[in-house]
Amino acid sequence: MSLVTSLIMRQMRAPIIILIIGYAISVLGMVLTPGLDNDGNVWHMSFFDAFYFVSYTATTIGFGEIPYPLSNAQRSWALFTIYLTVISWFYSLGKIISLVQDPTFREALKINQFKRQIERVPNTFILICGFGETGHALTRALTEKNIHTVILENNNHLIQTLPLEDFKLVVPGIKGDASNPEDLIVAGLQHPKCAAVIAATSSDETNLKIAVTSKLLNPEICVICRSEIAEYESNMFSFGTDFVINPFDTFANIFGMAMHSPSLHLLYDWLTGVEDTDLTNPVYIQDGHWIICGFGRFGQGLYQQLLKSNIQVTVIDPSETKRDIFLSRPENGNNDFIIGTGFDAHTLTVAGVTEAVGLVSGTDDDSNNLSIIMTAREINPELFIVARHNKKNNEKLYEATNANIIMQPSEIIARKIRSLLVSPLMIAFLNKARNQDPAWANITISRIVGVLGESLPNIWTLHVNGEEARALCKVLRLGRIIRVGNLLQDPRQREQQIKAIPLLLKRNHKLLLMPSDDIAIKSGDELLFCGTPGAMRSMSWSLNDIHSLNYIMTYEEIQDSFVWRAAHQLIKRNERRNRPRQNRHRIK
């Protein structure tokens, strides 16, 4: 018996017993009290009559005095019956209503509903702790990819608004403290369907606690942590957290990529972006003098990247201790550190904003950042601006500033985690791509544009195994050779190509970037493709349907039913018989 039914039953004991006793007394009294029939004889109600009478009286329906008008004795008992039974009904109803409003009961009901929703998840789910901006962006991204998510969030308001969000899948959510192991278990940490835990709360300490709890209670599980402070990061790694994502480091790396090779950055942007949106334009970061306002985690990360490229930088920050540390390092010799906030024209002019090519507004306060951008743009409209965006609700303001790159921590984290979970090969691809020269990225980009046109590609991974590629594996077992290029043929019109590009081939831990069309596929391979949604569907036809695959490979069509197969064989035999003699001989 579940907790909820048990709770109801236990609470309902007293009201039901009172009802039973009330009815019993009334019915018995009605039977015992003498009445008179139409002829004036003494008459007693049977139990059946009495129960009928009491039932319609107690529920205030009141059919009247049947079968005979009641005697005065019966009427006086009926009076008693009315008060007794109606009052017991009121009492019972009151009890039921108060039970429904009982907080314990409601909580039990919510947990029950949550558990049922989890049971209805068809395959695996990912537990997301914290439904802030990161959790929200992540949930949207994962549900778009048909990956089920479950939310654990401390803020009751956010949980209540969860059913109002228009996610593609049902997202079960429960209120609870993610740093409390019991709440994590209730949220499904030890559920066999739970595939991964993402600690995406805003506090590094809570995230650390989530990672520890998850690894202790369910060592098999994949744990992904958001972390903004380096000490916590190394602590998280120390006990086997699978991935720790630091938004500032991640962004600094992306920024470095954009500086080093704009086309590679563009490729990254396309392949990790939201599907079916318009393609973005490349970002070109010029060499010259840069100004960094705000020397926190964000500013320092970007500073390191600029330093690597030997770019002259002026830092503006109000902290004197930071200045002392900055100036004591020998590698910072060429660069300046100005004490100030940066949102006044004077400081910016002193820092050299008139000749500068780029400006980073990287304080942790949105109004300061916006003010810096506005002031700097007024002095030097040509500036390349990198803005740090802290709070989600200021999105419109940042868009209005026309900053060249806007860094939003939650967006960065959501993007990275989505790539990790949806297509692990994508990370391998991007890591390998980083080592290629910029010309390679240019060629890849023009290929993608050539095949896919104007919108961002879908990314999918093909695992060559019996589950995901039934027909393909069957044919491979027969010893036929199927090449990458064959998969790119349209199963409706084999001369045409579907709109997809193979990005990476993984075979026995070896990675091959942009596999060419003539590579033969082997069982156990993993292939990463990008393409249109239509191409993805077409490809799944040729992978799983033996007829489509046969058509592509220009083998003859196989006949499905017995009659057709027999007819087919008959035609074949006749063809052979009617063939010219020497020809037949040669075939032998």
Partner 1 sequence: MNREKVVFSFFMILALTLNFGFYVGEIDNPNHHNVYELFAVVIVNLIATVLKFGDRSQMGAMLLATSLVALVQLFSASIVWTYVVNIQGHTMTPEVMVTIISLSGGALIANFISVILLIIETSMMRH
Which residues form the interface with partner 1 (CB under 8 A)? Answer: 1, 6-13, 16-17, 20-21, 24, 27-28, 31, 46-49
Q: Please, which residue, 85 or 410, has the CB nearer to partner 1?
A: 85
Measured from the CB of residue 204, what is the shortest distance to partner 1 in angstroms? 41
Listed in sequence order, the DSSP H helices in 494-587 are 533-544, 546-552, 562-578, 581-587
Measured from the CB of residue 92, what is the shortest distance to partner 1 in angstroms? 12
Q: Please, which residue, 17 or 87, has the CB nearer to partner 1?
A: 17
Measured from the CB of residue 67, what is the shortest distance to partner 1 in angstroms? 11
Structure tokens at 50: 């009495």
In sequence order, what are the residues at sequence separation of 6 or more whose Cβ sits closer than 8 angstroms to the Cβ of residue 92?
15, 16, 18, 19
Q: Please, which residue, 67 or 94, has the CB nearer to partner 1?
A: 67
Q: Please, which residue, 31 or 511, has the CB nearer to partner 1?
A: 31
Which of 411, 414, 355, 410 is closest to 379 using CA atoms? 355
Are 185 and 161 within 8 A, CB to CB? no
Show the CA angle centred on residue 149, arms to residues 146 and 150, nearest 5°: 155
d(CA 85, CA 432): 81
Q: Please, which residue, 6 or 496, has the CB nearer to partner 1?
A: 6
Q: Please, which residue, 31 or 546, has the CB nearer to partner 1?
A: 31
d(CA 347, CA 208): 40
Q: Please, which residue, 28 or 221, has the CB nearer to partner 1?
A: 28
Q: Please, which residue, 5 or 354, has the CB nearer to partner 1?
A: 5
Measured from the CB of residue 17, what is the shortest distance to partner 1 in angstroms? 5
Backbone angles phi, psi at 16, to 5 degrees: -70, -40
Structure tokens at 5: 């039914």
In sequence order, what are the residues at sequence separation of 6 or more whose Cβ sits closer than 8 angstroms to the Cβ of residue 337?
295, 314, 315, 316, 317, 322, 323, 326, 327
Measured from the CB of residue 94, what is the shortest distance to partner 1 in angstroms? 18
Q: Please, which residue, 26 or 423, has the CB nearer to partner 1?
A: 26
Which DSSP symbol is given to 517? T
- The total number of residues shown for the chain amounts to 588
CA 214, 217, 220, 226: dihedral to nearest 10 degrees? Answer: 0
Please report, for residues 263, 416, 435, 482, the alpha-carbon distance to residue 445 in angstroms, rounded to integers and kept in the order given: 7, 21, 16, 27
CB atoms near residue 116 (< 10 Å)? 10
Measured from the CB of residue 99, what is the shortest distance to partner 1 in angstroms? 12
Measured from the CB of residue 145, what is the shortest distance to partner 1 in angstroms? 41
Question: Beta 34-36 vs 42-44: how paired, if at all?
Answer: antiparallel
Measured from the CB of residue 44, what is the shortest distance to partner 1 in angstroms? 11
Measured from the CB of residue 188, what is the shortest distance to partner 1 in angstroms? 23
Biggest distance spanned by C-alpha atoms of the chain: 123
Measured from the CB of residue 544, what is the shortest distance to partner 1 in angstroms? 48
Dihedral sign computed on CA atoms, order 123, 127, 132, 138 = negative
Q: Please, which residue, 27 or 430, has the CB nearer to partner 1?
A: 27
